[in-house]
Amino acid sequence: MMAESKKPAKGSDRKGPDKKANRRGAARLAAVQALYQMDIAGAGLNDIFAEFESHWLGGEVEGDKYLPAEAAFFRDVVAGVVRDQAKLDPLIDDALSKGWPLKRIDAILRAVLRAGSYELEHRKDVPGRVVVSEYVDVAHAFVEKDETGMVNAVLDQIARQFRADEFLRG
């Protein structure tokens, strides 16, 4: 049950300097879709890992070839969100406009915000601005421009909490 019938990142397996970035981008998209599926269908973590790693990450589905994703990165984001969700959700709630708690946000956007927040807190190997930009791009795959603006604003605010030094430098 994919979010609005969207599938993981489609494209060629390009070689070159951006290959790692493409694999991480594909992993982020797959992580958001996995979190969405867990939220909507109540799928368990091990079932999600098995399904995504055997059918979606770099595979061919219905004749379409998908970018290979960095499986370890995918697993880290999904498992980290599941582990830290009770901590992440209040952070996201605080960053959202008053009157729009996380539970009122569409499930796919909840997944984007949770994954982005997790990565901002725990993946210091990735620059904060890159994390925000990447999850705004992931949101573009599923929602309209106004909603991606909300994703940008919320993740930017959370980034400034976890990565204040990066954002002060400019």
Burial of residue 153 (number of CB atoms within 10 Å: 0-12, 13-18, 19+):
middle
Residue 20's pLDDT is 60
Q: What is the DSSP letter of 44?
A: -
- Spell out the SS3 assignment of 17-53: CCHHHHHHHHHHHHHHHHHHHHHHHCCCHHHHHHHHH
Highest-confidence segment of 55-59, 63-67, 146-150: 146-150
Which tens digits make up the pLDDT trace of 135-155?
A: 999 999 999 888 899 999 999
Residue 78 or 6, more confident: 78
What pTM was estimated for this model as a whole?
0.82
